[in-house]
Structure 1
Amino acid sequence: MKRLIYFVAVMALATGCRKYVEIDQIGKRTPTYTKDYRALLDNNSQLEAGFSLTIYSGDDTRFLDSSKQAIMTDINGNAYTWQPQYWSDTQSDGDWDKLYKAIYTCNEVLAGVMASENGTDADKKQLFAEALTHRAYAYWCLVNIYSAQYDAATAATDLGVPLLLTPDLFASLQRASVAAVYNQITGDLKQAVDALPALPDYNTRPSKAAAYALLARTYLMTRDFTTARSYAEQALALQNGVLDLRDYATSVAAFPYRLKDPEVIFSKINAGFYQGGIQLDTALLSLLGTKDMRYALFVKPGGNFFPAFTGYGYWRYRYSREGNTITQGPGVPEMMLIKAECAARAGDAVTATNVLNSLREKRFLTTDYTAYTPGTPAEALSRVVDERKREFFGTGLRWFDQKRLNKDAAFAKTVTRTFKGVNYTLEPNSNRYIFPVGTKYILLNPEIAQSPR
């Protein structure tokens, strides 16, 4: 019984409680009908959440203002300086909790929806496929945050994350290998595709385009560039709308909500709260340049934030009109850049450059835009990497690029920063690219191994 208590103590944060598993409670109902499972999967407060702390860890953020550093929470400060542990023995990891809560909900659906009542077989299969896709996204986040970068030579033995595939409170919490988690992600997505609509009714729901986009992301992380490009192209064949930022040069009043944004393939949003603003690195600002519409629209002086700070901060999420919402799910620009990167790595600088130009022409006023001309594949690849920095800054996605690009000698870099008068250094391929597991969870469940530090 003690083990169950310990398990529930951890998973209560990741599952809410067992109220949907066995017993009808007052005011609650055990899922019985197909529509009950639709309601579970449409609970965006549980299933749309992504991650937060990588926003502090990545090199596109740089909190230079001492007053900004002074008000940073201990957890955020620890992530910003790549500490061995981010949380005290009693503090919870919000990203870990929310992602495992989403997985538990998906597992509930997978366990029960096909036997549910008053639904068509097609409806049940679609809900089953949606749950697989949501679960795959959550595991993509977890394995890329808390585990070593995928390396074909070591993935079978590198620590992944606990791989929970049923709503079983007695399931093992031992960490599966990185390879096993990746195999689960790709297997879930490939299983899901056939039962999903090409495009969703709402971009918070999975679709074929979303599954293909997540497969492209996943294979990019494994350095299977041929397969990543294929899935990116399949996603783009279904959805390829790109915002023309020139349309908002004089007014952002019509800037779209994320649920209406043609670039968003699968809406996933940050799990944290950044009311005080995300201060941007000066090297990033130099890379952007003031003529880039992403600078003009998505960067504001620190005096626009509260509390104010020196330097400049990330502003795009302020246009969401839905709180501090940062989009982290796969989108059209990301698929274009995956296609371009994979083309460059295959030696096709012309295709890579053409794709880059088709994106960049919508990121500059006509008078400020100069198209790239094809150079060498190495030059094209470098341009793609820089464009990813410009396109995804402030979202937390840069952290994953830093981590995977350490495998390329041309892009591996040492990052240094000063925080409260102390200098910190992050070396390429350091274990500090692997987030720790919160001590609280290991104390409650010693079978969970700590990340290498």
Structure 2
Amino acid sequence: MKMKFVYISLLAFSMGAVSCRKYVEVEQPNQRQFKYTADFEKLLNNVDVMEKSASMPILSSDDINLESNTSMQNLLTNELGNMYTWADTYYTSDQSDAGWDALYNLVYVCNQVTSFVMESENGTTLQKQRIYAEAQVQRATTYLTLVNIYSRVYNSSSAASDMGVPLLLSPDLFVSLQRPSVQAVYDQIIKDLTAAIPVLPDVTTNNLHPNKAAGYAVLARTYLYMQRYPEAAENAAKSLSYQSTLLNLGDYADGTKAYPRRLENPEVLMSKEATRPGYLNLPLSSKLVNLFDTRDVRYSLFTRNGSTFQPAFTGRGSYRDMVFQYDNIAVGVSVPEMMLTQAEGLARAGNTNDAMTLVNSLRQHRFKAADYTALTAADAPAALRIVLDERRRELFGTGLRWFDQRRLSREPALAETVTRDFKGTTYTLTAGDRYVYPIPPKNIELNPELLQNPR
């Protein structure tokens, strides 16, 4: 039987993988098998695996614009240039998609936990259940990322027939990689989350490990991407009822106080990271930059003039991953995201005042007190526009904008056409299949049942 190469490099084995034969072998000298409850908890402590998320949507989103930076365009490798221009294919058949590999490796580790932790030794039932629930949340989060990169935008009328992503729920390397429907993937995500949330603790030792606030937050993000806005707002509110701490960014404006690192940041509900694609500097689009009041501390703290980067460029660039060098970009669910998710649901439901109260509560923590003036909205459509603009300001440079572009592309009043000039050619992104990443050709060649996305 041919091994399925959904995982190009199985990092899980380097950690010491669980045997798929459930411990019936005699343990060999100098070999470590995972059989104790604590072993499975250590799997979930591995930040190199469990913090992985998508990086490339940063480059595909309209946060970034290289139009006036010819030297930076030339620094892009072929695959990064393809992502930037939403090309027919991104990788050649001899290249691996590092994002696909890392995310499915995370799924593999979670499947080891859910398959074997309940039979492990030297742990209480409550410990095992908590570890199992944590793995469910991590797996659901990862599938939510995968299905929103490699599958069509969720559409309730076609989700049952649109191709999802391979849905692997056990650590079996020989399963079929035929693609279930988008609906089936979302159903599994919701199933995992709703089963896990009651078991999750209220508080965890650090934000690598999901608690109830994180579980509800991932569920809120799921419903947001499904355009089920009342349920998104409801679960965002539940998340905030457990954790709602905001940083006063004005405290960090003069640089005398250290901005908290990702794993220590109280705004981060579950830590996930992204890296700059190719470690390139990220010039921000003028449309995004023009949304900022220059007194907004996010403008001064998280962006810099392009002249301060190497190589230098015109305009402003994202500085998020440089506030702490090598700390990368936090892309996990967060308190600000939940406030804006709830506010969007309220605005869409016509509850203008409550939506604006949430927006202003967040923005008050993004300005020095003397500089802030509350925003107002004449009606619900105006409030919705303010909320969406605030999402751009709050979440820029994380790649989360790409997922907002996807869902909003289904609404003519909110969809935006993006045009890019790259190496002498103009490229245009409109609603449709260019919002879907192609499946890596290498994976399809190794697994012919894995069908390619239409382009």
Common fold: TM-score over 0.5: yes
User: 1:398 Cα shift?
Assistant: 0.3
Q: Does 1:90 align with 2:94?
A: yes
- TM-score after normalising by structure 1: 0.95
User: 1:367 Cα shift?
Assistant: 3.1
Task: Tell me the equivalent position of 1:443.
Answer: 445
Residues 373 and 289 of structure 1: CA distance in aligned 2, closer, same or farther (over 3 Å): closer
**Which ranges in structure 2 are unaligned for 5 or more consecutive residues?**
20-24
What do the CA deviations read for 1:299-344 (whole angstroms, capped 9, x no partner)? Answer: 10123222322322100221134x0510000000000001100000
User: 1:74 Cα shift?
Assistant: 1.4
Residues 30 and 407 of structure 1: CA distance in aligned 2, closer, same or farther (over 3 Å): same
Equivalent position amino acid for 2:316 in 1: Y
Equivalent position amino acid for 2:95 in 1: Q
Query: What is the count of residue pairs matched by the alignment?
Result: 447
Report if aligned partners of 1:14, 1:102 keep a CA contact under 8 Å in 2.
no
Q: Alignment partner for residue 278 of structure 1, among 282, 285, 299?
A: 282
Q: Does 1:169 align with 2:173?
A: yes
User: 1:218 Cα shift?
Assistant: 0.4
Q: Does 1:127 align with 2:124?
A: no
Task: Tell me the equivalent position of 1:20.
Answer: 17
Report if aligned partners of 1:273, 1:324 keep a CA contact under 8 Å in 2.
no
Aligned-partner SS, 2:198: helix
* Structure 1 residue ranges (4+ consecutive) displaced by more than 4 angstroms after TM superposition: 14-19, 23-28, 271-274
Q: Alignment partner for residue 7 of structure 2, among 4, 8, 11?
A: 11
CA distance in 2, matches of 1:275, 1:178: 32
Residues 251 and 415 of structure 1: CA distance in aligned 2, closer, same or farther (over 3 Å): same
Residues 272 and 115 of structure 1: CA distance in aligned 2, closer, same or farther (over 3 Å): farther
CA distance in 2, matches of 1:101, 1:43: 12
What do the CA deviations read for 1:239-269 (whole angstroms, capped 9, x no partner)? Answer: 0011111111212542111122111000000
Q: Does 1:81 align with 2:85?
A: yes
Aligned-partner SS, 2:274: coil
CA distance in 1, matches of 2:255, 2:304: 15
User: 1:298 Cα shift?
Assistant: 0.7
CA distance in 2, matches of 1:303, 1:104: 43
Aligned pairs for 1:239-250 within 5 A: 239-250=243-254
Compare 14-23 and 244-253 and name the one that shifted more: 14-23
Q: Alignment partner for residue 386 of structure 2, among 371, 376, 383?
A: 383
CA distance in 2, matches of 1:324, 1:203: 15
CA distance in 2, matches of 1:274, 1:244: 32
Report if aligned partners of 1:244, 1:362 keep a CA contact under 8 Å in 2.
yes
Task: Tell me the equivalent position of 1:355.
Answer: 358
CA distance in 1, matches of 2:198, 2:327: 35
Equivalent position amino acid for 1:355 in 2: L
CA distance in 2, matches of 1:362, 1:11: 42
Residues 88 and 376 of structure 1: CA distance in aligned 2, closer, same or farther (over 3 Å): same
Report if aligned partners of 1:14, 1:99 keep a CA contact under 8 Å in 2.
no
CA distance in 1, matches of 2:280, 2:30: 38
- TM-score after normalising by structure 2: 0.95
Q: Alignment partner for residue 296 of structure 1, among 300, 312, 316?
A: 300
Equivalent position amino acid for 1:30 in 2: Q
CA distance in 1, matches of 2:258, 2:327: 18
Residues 255 and 327 of structure 1: CA distance in aligned 2, closer, same or farther (over 3 Å): same
**Which ranges in structure 1 are unaligned for 5 or more consecutive residues?**
none
Equivalent position amino acid for 1:310 in 2: T
Q: Does 1:432 align with 2:434?
A: yes
Report if aligned partners of 1:268, 1:328 keep a CA contact under 8 Å in 2.
yes
CA distance in 2, matches of 1:219, 1:178: 14
User: 1:273 Cα shift?
Assistant: 5.0
Residues 125 and 414 of structure 1: CA distance in aligned 2, closer, same or farther (over 3 Å): same
Q: Alignment partner for residue 113 of structure 1, among 103, 114, 117?
A: 117
Task: Tell me the equivalent position of 1:157.
Answer: 161
User: 1:169 Cα shift?
Assistant: 1.3
Task: Tell me the equivalent position of 1:339.
Answer: 342
Aligned-partner SS, 2:426: strand
Aligned-partner SS, 1:161: coil
Report if aligned partners of 1:50, 1:271 keep a CA contact under 8 Å in 2.
no
Equivalent position amino acid for 2:99 in 1: D
Q: Percent identity?
A: 46
Report if aligned partners of 1:276, 1:307 keep a CA contact under 8 Å in 2.
no
User: 1:26 Cα shift?
Assistant: 7.0
CA distance in 2, matches of 1:28, 1:388: 49
Q: Alignment partner for residue 315 of structure 1, among 313, 319, 329?
A: 319
Q: Does 1:402 align with 2:409?
A: no
User: 1:199 Cα shift?
Assistant: 2.1
C-alpha RMSD of matched pairs (Å):
1.6
User: 1:296 Cα shift?
Assistant: 1.0
What do the CA deviations read for 1:388-446 (whole angstroms, capped 9, x no partner)? Answer: 0000110000000011011222211111001111110111x221100000000000000
Residues 97 and 259 of structure 1: CA distance in aligned 2, closer, same or farther (over 3 Å): same
Aligned-partner SS, 2:329: coil
Equivalent position amino acid for 2:274 in 1: N
Aligned-partner SS, 2:346: helix
